[in-house]
Amino acid sequence: MPREIQVAISTLDGDGCGGASVGERRVRIKNGLPGETVSARVLKRRKGEWLAEAFEIATPSADRRSAACRYFPRCGGCSMQHLDYARQLALKEDGLRQALSENGVVPVSFEQPVHGPRFNYRTKARLGVRVVGGEVLVGFRESFGNRVGRMTECLTLTEPLSRLLVPLKQLIAELSAPGRIPQVELAGGDAEAAIILRHLDPLTEADRNAIASFSREHGIRVYTQSGGYDTVLPASASATEPYLGYANPDFGLHFLFTPMDFTQVNLSMNRKLVQSAVLGIDARPGERVLDLFCGIGNFSLPLAASGYQVVGLEASAPAIERAGMNARHNGLSERCEFAVQDLYHADCLNPGQADYLVLDPPRSGAGPNLPAWLQTTGAKRVVYVSCSPASFAKDARILASAGFVLEQVGIYDMFPNTAHVETLGIFQRPW
């Protein structure tokens, strides 16, 4: 049986977990807020600390709100449904402010947080699959563990994807080896959806017939995956259209992508982020923009549609292929040029001349070549999009050392009710 403790919570960390102590031991408590006394179950012990989940709140905080989802807090898909939404935004902004302060960066302007719908926003997810007592479970992993949550719906997923959870359980239960299906990935566009079914054993003919029937009944594309992403294949040999799509009507654009491509999971917030990034360039038509870590062209194409000449670089060959396809699809090939380039490699000290830089790197940040880019490109303005306040702040320090001023910065709540957040910063060289 898990150990039960009663503790007074004194802090709230950036992951939305309350902080407390039991003797000399630190405890992180999901579903706990500062000022509360709670009863909690210790679910895991890790590196000298306990990870626990509050199940009874003796003294609720004024910031506590009733969770909209009946699976909270056990489901690990969300971490902050119990916290007032204004406090969620403040917590994320405080994390960014602290990271910038620790790196000695003082922005000229801190913009108001940008946010959108709090539920039914997520268009992509990787869900665990597990068979327990003959029952197939499909859902997010539980808090502080690897167990799969028992779910029949999800308020974070878009409604069409949420409605697939029960049928997916039924499909997997019909397969010859349901215990050998470890995960399923969901991906949705504006009008279509797809799933990728990971399988550890070869599928039988009966399995493939069941999958084909599921695909037809629910109007969803199904892919199978026996290994890495290079093994993803359409479940049906007759499937001819591999692409999903999403529109950005602000720029009159339509993007094609596969379920394996990286795309932002919150399409309405992505529109706001792209709009702000393009406005942040604030250039004359015809000037040259270098879009580093460009992906499938999420920023490149709106920039091109705004009249700029854009060069997009990215390490992923499939993403670059998709970016070029999207440029042709939207009639922007003459204003866009894309190339595969490992931007972390020492050979990429000079990615080319540009008036402006757009950076949208992975969580690890822009990488070791950033100081060289600031010298060799000749860019006078940098728009930096980040999914990690910590790496953004470290790179902001490098930009400041190169003479750039952080004119404005702010958070975009791409992932409501979770600890994740996007940051947009605009840097200007003052000469």
Written as six digits, the tokens of 406 are 């952080």
Catalytic, 387? Answer yes
Collect all residues with Cβ–Cβ distance below 8 Å to 263 and sequence separation of at least 6. Answer: 123, 124, 246, 255, 257, 295, 296, 298
Phi, psi of 426 (to 5 degrees): -120, 120
DSSP 247-271: EETTTTEEEEE-TTS---SBHHHHH
In angstroms, the CA 164 to CA 416 distance is 22
Q: Are 37 and 29 in contact (CB under 8 A)?
A: no
* Measured CA angle at 197 (ends 195, 200), to 5 deg: 170
Collect all residues with Cβ–Cβ distance below 8 Å to 46 and sequence separation of at least 6. Answer: none
Burial of 191 (0-12, 13-18, 19+ CB in 10 A): exposed
Among the options 75, 78, 336, 387, which is catalytic? 387
Please report, for residues 6, 19, 52, 289, 368, the alpha-carbon distance to residue 36 in angstroms, rounded to integers and kept in the order given: 10, 10, 15, 50, 44
For residue 312, what is the enclosing H or E element?
A: strand 309-314
Return the residue matching tokens 């709670």.
38
Give the DSSP letter of residue 167: H
| Catalytic sites, residue numbers | 387
